[in-house]
Structure 1
Amino acid sequence: MIDPELLEKLVAFQKYGTLSATADHLLVTQPTVTRSMKKLEEQLGVALFDRSISNRIKLNDTGVLAATEAQKLLQAHQDFEKRIQNFAHQQSELQIGGVMPGPSIFATTLQPEITVKFTVDFQPLAPEAVVDELLAYKKHLIFVNDELNNSEIESMYLGVERLGVALDNFNPLAQHASVSFKELAGLSFLVGQNIGPWRSLIEDCIPNANFLYQEKFTAVNELSKYSNFPFFFSNLSKLSKPTATRFSPSRTKVMIEDPNNAMEVYGAYRKQDRHLVQPLLKNLAQKWPQ
């Protein structure tokens, strides 16, 4: 079997073009690179370089193909290592993520009541990354807002997430039992930056609003204490301690009654993990808040 280090040097040579540049990148000497390239040619039994120009070598057509294939092999080797490491890591507890934060927050509020051990990654995933995250064994379960089913993955419906808004008591809308998105027009809101598909929804549905996005939810918590900017919560996130700390006596919680204010939530998982994930999902579905 060919030493992966020889392939790494070949790929580096294709990228950097000269022995000296390759050696500098790999932090080795130029003679080391030269010996490695000759050894690789010997093992393959073919010439990979055009040495017709004095004091300079370049890849021939065979060498270009070899470098291209070597890159694929190295990437496959990295993917193999990562998949095995991820799989081993998953044996101790469930790894959970989501395209929006609400369901993950809700799951953590129930964690003391649930026998299943799990760890939550609160960094929302891009919807197009969900399948790869599951198949690469990075996550057991990912909360998504669209049903996902294929030959290896299935999903279970959990419930609906809905937004509410915490308004300053002096805002006339705070006297309402509920408001629509359009009634919130022109206001400025404190918002966590990573709220997944909710971000485009509120931007599209609330006319002329300003959204003061904060990278960390802790910043939203702090700013909400010292300002009267309204902020959003949901039927899922309002149960968490960090969100509850934002609700001071100077604010009124008002639910948003609007046709667009309903996001279905599903739990997507690998079919082979059904026996691990479904007990948790059934527990969440039974306790899903309205």
Structure 2
Amino acid sequence: MTRQVRAFDRSRHTISVGSCAPAPLWEIVPRLTELYPGMAVSSEMQDCGALLDGLHSRAYQLIVMPEPVDDPALLCIQLTEEHLYFSLPPAHPLSSAKVLRFADLDGESMLLLAHIGFWYGRARKNMPQALFLTQDEPAAFDELTRMSALPFFTSDLSLKRDGMPENRVCIPISDPDAHVTYYCVCLSEQHQLLSRLLQHAVQ
């Protein structure tokens, strides 16, 4: 009960957003900040189970999931899509390919950022023989991607935000696991939050 009271009190001053991946937060957090200037907006990444638990316990007012949620107590609306790419140096043997599969680079060494939500598990599942050089700090990862010739993952949303990396070729991955549709989910009783967010997105 105490936890629920604290969550309710916090919700009066803060909009808490949980996401399964980083990219949806890049747009959602600024939108909410603009829509609700009198409130703080906090965000974090969690696994899907923790996100749903947090939404039901009111730790979050809004969550982003990689699949639709069928629950009469929740409102679930499609948000956007993300498509994974390989980023390769021009000298890589596969740099001239128009499209690639996970299996094409399985067994190679790759740079991998640790805090990428559900994408981390998908990468390891689909490339079990790859040697992932995992980096915890985004700044260190970015520096390594500039200095190294090792492949790494990027996405259409990352390329839209950050532009094409220098001296790199970005090739889409065709496997189904390289594509995701994101869904915004909130409690049905808080539908106005989600409605305002999505109306703002299409203006």
Aligned residues: 200
Identify which of 118, 126, 148 aligns with 1:205: 126
Give 1:247's aligned residue: 165
Identify which of 45, 48, 52 aligns with 1:131: 52
SS at match of 1:164: strand
Give the CA deviation at 1:106. Answer: 4.1
Give 2:108's aligned residue: 187
Q: d(CA) in 2 for partners of 1:265 and 1:181?
A: 21
Give the CA deviation at 1:274. Answer: 0.6
Give the CA deviation at 1:239. Answer: 3.0
Give 1:115's aligned residue: 34
Give 2:73's aligned residue: 152
Give 2:186's aligned residue: 269
Q: d(CA) in 2 for partners of 1:236 and 1:159?
A: 10
Give the CA deviation at 1:113. Answer: 10
1:142-169 superposed Cα distances (whole Å, 9 cap, x missing partner): 1111222324222112232210121111
* More relative contact order, 1 or 2 (CA 8 Å, 6+ apart): 2
Check the 8 A contact 1:188/1:210 in 2, yes or no.
yes
Change (3 A) 1:164 1:283: farther
Q: d(CA) in 2 for partners of 1:130 and 1:274?
A: 17
Q: d(CA) in 2 for partners of 1:260 and 1:132?
A: 25
Q: d(CA) in 2 for partners of 1:114 and 1:196?
A: 23
Q: d(CA) in 2 for partners of 1:188 and 1:277?
A: 41
Change (3 A) 1:127 1:203: same
Q: d(CA) in 1 for partners of 2:147 and 2:33?
A: 36
Change (3 A) 1:258 1:132: closer
1:11-160 aligned at under 5 Å gives the runs 76=1, 80=2, 82-108=3-29, 111=30, 115-117=34-36, 119-122=41-44, 124-160=45-81
Percent identity at matched positions?
Answer: 23
Give 1:174's aligned residue: 95
Q: d(CA) in 1 for partners of 2:55 and 2:32?
A: 26
TM-score by length of 2: 0.84
Change (3 A) 1:129 1:209: same
Check the 8 A contact 1:267/1:281 in 2, yes or no.
no
Q: d(CA) in 2 for partners of 1:113 and 1:88?
A: 19
1:97-149 superposed Cα distances (whole Å, 9 cap, x missing partner): 212222113435xx379832473424x21211122211232211111112223
Give the root-mean-square deviation of aligned CA atoms.
Answer: 2.6
Change (3 A) 1:128 1:182: same
Check the 8 A contact 2:76/2:186 in 1, yes or no.
yes
Give 1:27's aligned residue: none
Where in structure 2 are there 5+ consecutive unaligned residues? none
Query: Based on CA coordinates, which of the two structures has the bigger radius of gyration?
Result: 1
Change (3 A) 1:113 1:138: closer
SS at match of 1:85: helix
Where in structure 1 are there 5+ consecutive unaligned residues? 1-75
